[in-house]
Chain A
Amino acid sequence: MKRLAPLLSLMLMLAIVGCSKQDNFDEREINLVSPEKIAGYDPIHASDQYSGNEAGKVYEGLFEFHPLKRPYELMPNLAEALPTVSADGLTYTFKLRKGVLFHDSPAFKDGIGREMKSDDVIYSLKRLADPKLMAKGWWLFDERIVGLNEWRTKYSALDATVYEEEIEGLKKVDDYTFTVKLKSPYPQFLYALAMPYSFIVAKEAVDHFGKEFLNHPVGTGPFILPRFDQSNLIVYNRNPKFREKFYPTEGEEGDDKLGLLADAGKKIPLVDRINVHIVVESQPKWLSFQKGKDDVIELKDNNIDQAITKEKELRSEHKEKGIRLILKPQLDVTFFAFNHEDKTFQNRKLRQAMNMAYNRAEANRLFYEGTAIDAQGVIPPGMGGYRKEFKNPYVKFDLEGAKKLLAEAGYPGGKGLPEITIQTRNETIARQQIEFFAKCMDKIGIKINVGMNTWPELVNKVTKKQHQMYTMAWGADYPDAENFLGLLYCPNQSPGSNGANYCNPEFDALYKQATVMQDSPERTALYEKLNEMAAVDAPWVFGFNRTRMYLVQAWLKNFKFMEFNHNQFQYLNVDLEVKKELSKKF
């Protein structure tokens, strides 16, 4: 024990002396936090927001969303301009930006990154279809490009995939020009090319690193990756060979006033380093932000009331530190879906009654601090097809109306209606939400059971149609309402995204018509019609369009809420003077 005593003292001393790292006021460094472990950097598997955000720091796509303009606007990135499209809307010709270099890597000759060319784009798109890779992003191009499905099918039976085999739908014209031929009109095609799945990779890097490619990203992006601990810390350094790319000179109205155009015209990236800390639990995330260790956090669940008042105002102790609050509606919808293959729920009046019995105002107060918006239909606000004036007659809390509808449905006071089980995830908040829902339904005589499941169990029940009802949220993949309306399209039923197995021939016919139309007032009108048609048919008990809440340190510049934010980080900046000054308050 005598020998151990000095060791213990040394350990405690080291702990105490070395406790707080000094803040860095000399380098432009951003500290971010990710609530999920990062699976890896292979873009074709970047299906979740967090993997996409990390991939977006080292890789780039042909297009990206404008960091300031809203509604979301695509702008060319690796592509020199928007493509030219043939008269039939099927052949797209793309021109690539010249002089774009891949990061230096041992994968290349002499370790020097070479120029990105048409072959790289074609190779990257083909990787999504490679049957050996099982890309999570394949759904974007499945049955879309001429010859791609055939190529996939051919090589699924063979040992190795031959990328050199040319296919009709993906053709190189020269080093900087290529064409894509679609099977049928695909208006969301350019959005697909802006998603992380379609980021451009180099064949040499994929071949060189083999299965370890996911840990050794070699992109053309603004940052390189010196450190990747997937469940601890990721460090990015500025890519010294990044091409000439500049901060936008225009944005949305009011951006200038908010200082979002102060860096207009400057070369990006604006910072030297980004540190991404992986922090799963909310308390350490909250405390680190409060200490000024992280520059921005998204507020969730139990931190919301510590940050804002009931009037949705930032609390004074945070205001004193110069912290800013950003509240922005999210492109998502929460819902309690009926399984329409269950005869019970083929009764429209029952579905409408349940919608009317759900006390959304109270649920909003309980679970979202009153920041969410009642979902009137499938399409969230901020997306073409959402009409502000439309109020779903069944998305209003009216117990008497609900009882009346329930009686008309054949179940007066709930009599004769079997107990309904709603499947959800085994998380506290999910259980509380269903229990609240059950309490609401009980008021009109409907008995609800809660089915708690692990995530795989829940997904299995839904994909195998072994559920009566389930609850879920859907977030936008890209800013087109087709991505939401597809949740009710009959051919998408389980195991597809239509887990409600809702089938309405009239809806399906209009959907088919709308989704091949290019963005236009006519298509928007069709989307509105589809949304409102589905809304009154009550295929789900509609929940909410949630609001995202961010707290941003005063020194972090150019942060604007982006739904599709994987390219956002190169535009961020740090005001070191402000950071130095304010650090005294932390």
Chain B
Amino acid sequence: MIKYIIRRLLNLIPVLLGVSFIIFVLFNLVSGDPTAVLLGKNATAKQMAELREQLGLNKPLFDQYLDVVKSAFTFDFGRSWATKQEITYMIKQGAYPSMVLTVPAFIIATIFSLIISLVVAFYRGKGIDLFVRILCIAGVSVSALAYILGFQYLFAYKLGWFEISGFEYGFPDFVPYIALPAIIWILLSLGPDVRFFRTIMLDEIYQDYVRTARAKGLSEVVILLKHVLRNALIPIITYVVIQIPSLILGALLLENFFSIPGLGGITLNALNSSDFPVIKAMAILSSVLYIVMSLVTDILYTLADPRVKLK
């Protein structure tokens, strides 16, 4: 397995080279000259030329590409062109609020979804199954924005149960700020998660081994928890772990509406100000997280199913 992990980690090299190339080409071909945006409304042609020189935009394209590659491998992204802040610091500052919001919400949502989907799989075709299915469809049909606006108005403003917006660093100070957005995240996740997990459970429930277990007289609870859930773990792990990078990268809408200073808006802000170093950092970070998480998925497969061997 160690060999496998090393090989997969080495795969990062071509991936990072590819990502660097794509970001570089897209930035140079699509977004054009960033200097007018960076200098503001009174920019002059001379000043724009000077800034282009200073940002290294006059260097040969290959040298510029090498700079991108270098930062991808050293994780030294320098400073934001727009805010002049250290990018590593910006990411650290933003990752904490994003993660304290998304990680607990994600864990709770996943556990709730699994429990609900097991229950509805058990009562498949009965009233409760229908009821949950209708709720799930209703849940995914209403836009996230409607939940956010409605819940913020009702629970934070009218009832005063939570803070309307803002954030404090450190536990438990952040709890009043993240509780409501976390609840909204959980509710928003339940619909698609339960539908997906239910389908997987139902796929398993009609397998031969379940009939065998029943024939041997095992209780339904044991069958569901010990056999069905275990066998359904592979697609569940795939579905769950692959979401982890997006937890770190934040929840744009929730963060914006609850004024949580997370990473959600960082890429969007960077795109709106042609802030190439930040765009580059976020794209590279996403790729690395994605690769690492797919590796974690593979390792978890071996734990969930001993038949899986990593070679």
B50 and A20: CB pair below 8 A?
A: no
Chain B residues whose CB sits within 8 angstroms of the CB of A278 once the complex forms:
259, 261
Contact B273 A139 (CB under 8 A): no
> Which residues of chain B are within 8 angstroms of A584 by Cβ–Cβ distance?
none
CB pairs A–B below 8 angstroms (28 shown): A4-B111, A12-B179, A20-B160, A39-B82, A39-B83, A39-B85, A42-B84, A134-B51, A136-B40, A139-B42, A214-B84, A229-B261, A231-B265, A232-B97, A277-B165, A277-B259, A278-B259, A280-B259, A284-B165, A287-B165, A288-B164, A288-B165, A454-B272, A455-B272, A456-B34, A460-B32, A463-B36, A463-B43
Closest CB in chain A relative to B266 CB, distance in Å: 9
A284 cross-chain contacts in B, Cβ below 8 A: 152, 164-165, 257-259
Q: Are A15 and B180 within 8 A (Cβ)?
A: yes
Instruction: Write the B170-186 contact mask toward A (1 if CB under 8 angstroms, else 0).
Output: 00100110011000000
Residue B11 at the chain A interface, CB threshold 8 Å: no
Across the interface, do A231 and B261 meet the contact criterion of CB distance under 8 Å?
yes
Chain A hits for B271, CB < 8 A? 454, 456
A-B interface, 6 closest residue pairs, ranked by CB to CB distance from nearest: A15-B179, A284-B165, A232-B261, A231-B261, A456-B274, A139-B42
- Other-chain residue from B54, B84, B152 in contact with A40 (beta carbon distance below 8 A): B84
- Expressed in whole angstroms, the Cα–Cα distance for A462 and B83 within the complex equals 23
Q: Chain B 246-272, CB within 8 Å of chain A: the 1/0 string?
A: 000000000011111100010001011
Alpha-carbon distance between A454 and B273 when the two chains are bound, in angstroms: 9
Footprint of A on B, CB under 8 Å?
31-34, 36-37, 39-45, 47-48, 50-51, 54, 79, 82-86, 93-94, 97, 104, 108, 111, 115, 149, 152-153, 156-157, 160-167, 172, 175-176, 179-180, 256-261, 265, 269, 271-274
Contacts of B259 in A (CB 8 A): 232, 277-281, 284
**Distance A231 CA – B172 CA, assembled complex (angstroms):** 20
A416 at the interface (CB under 8 A from B): no
Inter-chain contact A19/B272, CB cutoff 8 Å: no
Instruction: Please tell me if the beta carbons of B44 and A142 are within 8 angstroms of each other in the complex.
Output: yes
Given contacts A134-B54, A229-B93, A284-B152, contact A8 B261 (CB under 8 A): no
Chain A 99-124, CB-CB to B under 8 Å as 1, else 0, gives 00000000000000000000000000
Task: Provide the bound-state CA to CA distance between A409 and B94, in Å.
Answer: 56
Q: Is A240 an interface residue (CB 8 A)?
A: no
Query: A131-B50, A230-B85, A284-B165 in contact; A460/B172 too (CB < 8 A)?
Result: no
Q: Which of B37, B111, B166, B256 contacts A232 (CB 8 A)?
A: B166
Residues of B within 8 A of A47 (CB): 40-41
Known: A18-B175, A232-B167, A454-B271. A495 touches B36 (CB 8 A): yes
Whether a CB of chain B sits under 8 angstroms from the CB of A14 is yes
Does A37 count as interface, using CB distance less than 8 angstroms?
A: yes
The residue in chain B whose Cβ has the minimal distance to the Cβ of A39 is B83
Cβ-defined contact, B273 with A456, below 8 A? yes
Structural contact, B257 and A283, CB atoms closer than 8 A = yes
Checking A211, A454, A459, A497 against B42 with a beta-carbon cut-off of 8 angstroms, the contacting residue is A497
Residues of A contacting B36 in the complex (Cβ-Cβ under 8 angstroms): 459-460, 462-463, 495
Contact B172 A18 (CB under 8 A): yes
Residue pair A291, B44 in contact (C-beta under 8 Å):
no
Judging by beta carbons under 8 Å apart, are B50 and A281 in contact? no
Bound CA span A512–B160, Å:
60
CA distance A329 to B97 in the complex (A): 39
> Which residue from B34, B42, B84 sits with its C-beta under 8 Å from A45?
B84
Contact check, B163 vs A134: say whether CB atoms are below 8 A apart. Answer: no
Measured in the bound complex, the distance between the Cα atoms of B163 and A15 in whole Å is 9
Interface residues of A, Cβ cutoff 8 Å to B: 1, 4, 8, 11-12, 14-16, 18-21, 37, 39-40, 42, 45, 47-48, 131-132, 134, 136, 138-139, 142, 156, 211-212, 214-215, 229-233, 277-281, 283-284, 287-288, 290-291, 293, 454-457, 459-460, 462-464, 474, 477, 495-497
Pairwise interchain contact A496-B161, C-beta atoms closer than 8 A: no
Interface pair A496/B176, CB less than 8 Å apart: no
Complexed CA–CA distance, A293 and B269 (Å): 27
A47-B40, A232-B166, A460-B36 known; A19+B261 contact, CB < 8 A: no
**Residues of chain A with a CB closer than 8 A to B167's CB:** 232-233
**Across-interface contacts of B163 in A (CB, < 8 A):** 19-21
Contacts of B43 in A (CB 8 A): 139, 463, 495-496
- The winner among B41, B175, B180 for most chain A CB atoms within 10 A is B41
**With the chains together, A42 CA to B269 CA distance in Å?**
20
Q: Is the CB of A139 within 8 A of B261?
A: no
On whether the beta carbons of B82 and A287 are closer than 8 Å, the reply is no
Smallest beta-carbon distance A399→chain B, Å: 34
> Using Cβ atoms and an 8 Å threshold, which residues of chain B touch A139?
42-44, 47
Residue of A nearest to B165 (CB): A284
- Evaluate whether A495 and B45 lie within 8 angstroms (CB atoms) in the complex, with A21-B163, A45-B84, A284-B164 already known: yes
- Report the bound CA distance from A283 to B111 in whole Å: 32
Are A287 and B152 closer than 8 Å at their CB atoms?
yes
Name the CB-closest residue of B to A14.
B175
Q: What 6 additional pairs, Cβ within 8 angstroms, besides A139-B47, A280-B256? A: A214-B84, A277-B259, A456-B37, A460-B36, A477-B42, A497-B41
Q: Is the CB of B256 within 8 A of A16?
A: no
Kindly state the separation between the CA atoms of A519 and B108 in the bound complex, as whole angstroms.
67
Contact A18 B176 (CB under 8 A): yes
Q: A456 touches which one: B32, B45, B165 (CB < 8 A)? A: B32
Nearest chain B CB to A256 CB, angstrom units: 37
A1 to B116, CA, bound (A): 13
Instruction: Verify A457–B32 contact, CB threshold 8 A.
Output: yes
B176 and A19 contact, CB distance less than 8 A: yes
Tell which of B83, B161, B256 touches A281, judged by Cβ atoms closer than 8 Å. B256
Q: Which residues in A have their C-beta under 8 angstroms from that of B115?
A: 1
Task: Report chain A residues within 8 Å CB of B45.
Answer: 495-496
Whether B164 and A291, one on each chain, are in contact in the complex, defined by CB atoms closer than 8 angstroms, is yes
Asked if residues B32 and A15 are in contact (CB atoms below 8 Å), the reply is no
Contact between B85 and A40, CB atoms less than 8 A apart:
yes
Taken together as a complex, chains A and B put the C-alpha atoms of A455 and B268 apart, in Å, by 11
CB-based nearest B residue for A18: B176
**Nearest residue in B to A213 (C-beta to C-beta)?**
B84
* B residues in contact with A16, CB < 8 Å: 161-162, 179
A20, A156, A281: which has the most chain B beta carbons within 10 Å? A281
CB-CB under 8 A from A230, the residues of chain B are 83, 85, 261
Rounded to whole Å, the gap between the CB of A197 and the closest CB of chain B is: 10
Residue from A4, A11, A134, A459 in contact with B37 in the complex, judged by beta carbons closer than 8 Å: A459
Whether the Cβ atoms of A279 and B165 lie closer than 8 Å is yes
Question: How distant is the Cα of A48 from the Cα of B50 in the complex, in angstroms?
Answer: 21
A277 to B261, CA, bound (A): 11
CB-CB under 8 A from A1, the residues of chain B are: 111, 115
B107: nearest residue on chain A (CB-CB)? A4
Q: Which of A8, A287, A462, A477 contacts B156 (CB 8 A)?
A: A287
Whether A455 pairs with B273 at a CB distance below 8 angstroms is yes
> CA separation between A412 and B245, bound complex, in Å?
59
Contact A39 B111 (CB under 8 A): no
Q: A281-B256, A459-B36, A496-B43 are in contact. Are A287 and B84 (CB under 8 A)?
A: no
Known: A454-B271, A495-B43. Contact between A11 and B152, CB under 8 A? Answer: no
Closest CB-CB distance, A5 to chain B, in whole Å? 11
Q: Is the CB of A134 within 8 A of B165?
A: no
What's the least CB distance linking B37 to chain A, in Å?
5
Complex contact B54–A214 (CB within 8 A): no
